[in-house]
Amino acid sequence: MSVLKKIIFIVGPTAVGKTSFAIEAAKFLNTEIISADSRQIFKEMSVGTAKPTETELSEVKHHFIGNKSVFDYYNASKYEFEALDLIDELFKKYDILIVAGGSGLYIDALLYGIDDLPDVDTEIRNNLQKRLETEGIESLRFELKAIDYESYKKIDLKNPKRILKALEITIQTGRPYSAFLTAQTKKRNFEVKIIVLNTDREVLHDRINKRVDVMIQQGLIEEAKKLYPYKHLTPLKTVGYRELFDYFDNLNDLGTAIELIKRNTRRYARRQITWFKKYPQAKWIDTNGNIDLKEIL
Q: Are strands 5-11 and 190-198 parallel, antiparallel or unpaired?
A: parallel
Locate the domains of the chain by residue range. 5-114+184-296, 122-180
Out of 1.10.3470.10, 1.10.20.140, 1.10.3720.10, 3.30.70.270, which CATH number does the structure's domain 122-180 have? 1.10.20.140
Which residues, in sequence order, are bridge partners of residue 101? Answer: 11
d(C-alpha 77, C-alpha 233), whole Å: 19
Q: Does residue 105 sit in helix, strand or coil?
A: helix
- Among 52, 31, 47, which Cα is nearest to 99's? 31
Contact residues for 242 (Cβ-Cβ < 8 A; gap 6+): 231, 236
CA 25 to chain centre: 21
Handedness of CA 138, 167, 231, 75 (dihedral sign): positive
pLDDT tens per residue, the chain (297 residues)? Answer: 457 899 999 999 999 999 999 999 999 999 999 999 999 999 999 999 999 999 999 999 999 999 999 998 888 888 999 999 999 999 999 999 999 999 998 999 999 987 767 778 888 888 898 899 899 999 999 999 999 999 899 888 888 888 998 999 888 888 888 887 766 678 899 999 999 999 999 999 999 999 999 999 999 999 999 999 999 898 999 999 999 999 999 999 999 999 999 999 999 999 999 999 999 999 999 998 888 888 888
H or E segment and range at residue 195: strand 190-198
Q: Which CATH number fits domain 5-114+184-296: 3.40.50.800, 3.40.50.2300, 3.40.50.300, 3.40.50.180?
A: 3.40.50.300
What is the pTM assigned to this prediction? Answer: 0.83
